[in-house]
Structures are given as C-alpha cells and as structure tokens.
Amino acid sequence: MKGFADVEGRVGCADEAAIGGSESKVDFARCPEGLCLDDILSSPLYRGRDELLGFRMLAHVTRAIAAGLAVLSTALPGAAREIAITLDDLPYVMPSRTSPSEGLEQVRAVNEALAAHRVEATGFAVGSQIGWRSRRAVAAFAEAGHTVGNHSWSHPDYGTLTPDQFREETQRTDEALSRWIGESRFYRFPFLREGETEEAKAAADQVLADLGYVNVPVTIDTDDWRYNADYLDALDRDDEVTAAEIAEAYLAHIRERTLHFESLAEDAIGGEVPHILLLHMNRINADHLSEMLDWYVAEGWTFVSVEEAMRDPFYAMPDLYAGPRGLSQVERVMGRPSE
C-alpha cells in the first residue's frame, strides 16, 4: 500500500522546508467581536437622553468592559495559563517498528498519564494506518474519553494535493473514523502545512467546511518525533542510559518550546492565549508524558480541551501566512515564521 511507505518514511510533522511568507502585520488593538469601547463612548446614542437607549448602551459598555478585562486578565503575571494536549498520528507512529500490541500498550500508557492529570485530549488519526489490529489502539483512546480527529488518509503534504485529492483524503478517513468521530469534527493538517497560496488555503477551508470539519491548529510546535526516533534506537540497543538522557533532553525541549511560543504569543498579541500543544502517539510520550504534565502543573498551567481553548478570540484571528512551512498558529497570525 503506497500510503504506508510514505507515512513511515515521513512520520511525524517534520518541517524542513525553506522559510517563506510575508511580513504583513495584524491590527492587534482591535477589540474582540469588533466591539470597541471608544466607538461606543463616541457614539451620539451614548450622549442621548432617551432612557431606554441609555440602558441599551450601558449593557453594551458593560459587555465591552468585561471583554476588555478578560483580555487584560490574561496578560497579568500569574494569570491562568491554559493548554490543550493533542496527539497526532493515531493509532501510533512508526508501525514498521511497533507491533499492534506495542501500539496498544503505548496508547494505554498515554491514557493513564492523561487520566492522572485529568486531561481530556484530542488525537488525530491517519486513516490508512487503521488496520483490523491497530484499530484497537484508536478504540482504546476514544473509550478513555478522548476526542478522535481526522489527520488525512495517507499523511500527505497538502502542498502536493489538488483540492479534489484533499477532499478524497479527508472523506476516506472520515468514513474510517465514523464510529469514533462524534459532534466534535476536528481536522489537523499533516506537517501543519495548510497551503502555499491564499487560493490553496481557501480551497482547503472550503473542503473542510463542506465536510463539517474545524481545522485545529497548533500553537506550541515541537519535535517530539525526532527525539522518539533516537529513543527507540537506544531502546533497541538496550542502552537504557542513553534512552534516559534522550528523555531528559526531550522534556527540556518541550519546556523550551513552551516558553518560546508563550513569549511569542505575548509579544504578538499582548497577552496570554490558551495554547494547543503538538505531540505524537509514540513511545517517548508513552514513557514520559506523565513527567511532562507534572511540569505543566508545577508551572501553573491548567489543562483544557481543544473546544475550550478554541473559544478564545485568538483562534478567530486571520492566518496571514501562505507558504510551504508548517507553522504554529501564533506565527500564522503574525504572518511569518519566528525562527
């Protein structure tokens, strides 16, 4: 099956493409929902004597102040830091190196770490990798109360597809996941590549809208797939010392990526946003996710679902990047890669 070789060769959401994109800016001073306090206060209605209108305007002003305070509160030191956990490449990555029973074990270990931290996660499945044995791993993830989303049929780079091929890839996996996809219909682009031109982005948006899917971006982009490959090599050699060193380096990498994108979001929009972390369903997370989640708790983060995170107005801000890179949504809102 062609898809398998491609997927195994490029597993994870690697991004080695050249830097592209524009330098365009966003007007970050815009109020949520387009309602600005200054607009209201300068309105002739606000200065009118009609009592009813006065009450109506008061309600508008109260709402505007509440929205302003909500934005302000997220920018204050010590404000709640929220993060949604997502895991790509269900049932499990590297099927060439992972048996269905090992894959199922990995999902169970991930489920255990998530349950211990009361995390409701979202996983994105590659349709072509769901076989009659590996499907038990997807089922175990869904039965643990997590959300299953669509991650294409063969894990292609969207930049290589026509809109019709993209529709076919998405629809085929939608059918394969029908028993697990419920009211939340989430899609994640392989390699986070969402289109190299505005036309290509719009074509994908249209396909997802037609199929009732919501694109779930990532704000904290990580290279867990790279650490996982080295970790598996060390385990294959029974080199537990090196495996432990790689795991330490991996957790440090996650901490560094989190701080990088948190600070980037603060610089870009002047406040905290609920973040969405990109991980993969792999061995290194099966073994070390619990420690990672401990760190988030110790740093004052709280875990939210993708639905909760995406209610934030940040996720409605326009994506100003069109190009070959797979980027964090923070970078997309900025219109350029950050590194």
> Based on CB atoms, which residue is closest to Zn ion, 74 or 152?
152
> Based on CB atoms, which residue is closest to Zn ion, 88 or 120?
88
First to last CA, the chain: 36
> Based on CB atoms, which residue is closest to Zn ion, 89 or 196?
89
Shortest distance, CB of residue 224 to Zn ion, whole angstroms?
11
> Based on CB atoms, which residue is closest to Zn ion, 74 or 129?
129
> Based on CB atoms, which residue is closest to Zn ion, 88 or 262?
88
Query: Is residue 262 within the footprint of Zn ion (CB under 5 A)?
Result: no
Q: How many Cα atoms sit within 13 Å of 143 on the Cβ side?
A: 9
Residue 136 corresponds to which tokens in the numbers above?
């038990």
Binders in 43-102 for Zn ion, by CB under 5 A:
88-89
Asked if 226 contacts 184 with a C-beta cutoff of 8 angstroms, the reply is no
Residues 6+ apart with CB under 8 A from 199: none
Q: What x/- string results for residues 152 through 171 when contact with Zn ion is judged by CB under 5 A?
A: --------------------
Residue 202 corresponds to which tokens in the numbers above?
């719009």
> Based on CB atoms, which residue is closest to Zn ion, 13 or 277?
13
Residue 95 corresponds to which tokens in the numbers above?
């099927």
Query: Is residue 13 within the footprint of Zn ion (CB under 5 A)?
Result: yes
Shortest distance, CB of residue 10 to Zn ion, whole angstroms?
9
The β-bridge relationship of strands 214-215 and 81-90 is unpaired
Shortest distance, CB of residue 88 to Zn ion, whole angstroms?
4
Shortest distance, CB of residue 143 to Zn ion, whole angstroms?
22
Q: What x/- string results for residues 115 through 144 when contact with Zn ion is judged by CB under 5 A?
A: ------------------------------
Binders in 307-336 for Zn ion, by CB under 5 A:
none
How many whole angstroms separate alpha carbon 306 and alpha carbon 275? 9
In the complex, which residue's CB is closest to Zn ion?
A: 88
Query: Is residue 7 within the footprint of Zn ion (CB under 5 A)?
Result: no
Shortest distance, CB of residue 225 to Zn ion, whole angstroms?
8
Residue 201 corresponds to which tokens in the numbers above?
């982005």
- The site for Zn ion, by CB under 5 A, has a size of 4
Binders in 211-250 for Zn ion, by CB under 5 A:
none
The β-bridge relationship of strands 147-150 and 275-280 is unpaired
Shortest distance, CB of residue 97 to Zn ion, whole angstroms?
16
> Based on CB atoms, which residue is closest to Zn ion, 21 or 190?
190
Binders in 182-201 for Zn ion, by CB under 5 A:
190
Buried-state track 244-262, b at ≥16 Cβ within 10 A, e below 16? eebbeebbeebeebbebbb
At 301, the amino acid letter reads: W
How many whole angstroms separate alpha carbon 158 and alpha carbon 163? 9
> Based on CB atoms, which residue is closest to Zn ion, 64 or 130?
130
Shortest distance, CB of residue 105 to Zn ion, whole angstroms?
21
Shortest distance, CB of residue 84 to Zn ion, whole angstroms?
17
Q: Roughly what angle, to the nearest 10 degrees, separates helices 135-143 and 100-116?
A: 10
Residue 65 corresponds to which tokens in the numbers above?
């102040």
C-alpha torsion 211→323→261→93, nearest 10: 60
Element (H, E) at 277: strand 275-280
Name the site residues for Zn ion (rule: CB under 5 A).
13, 88-89, 190
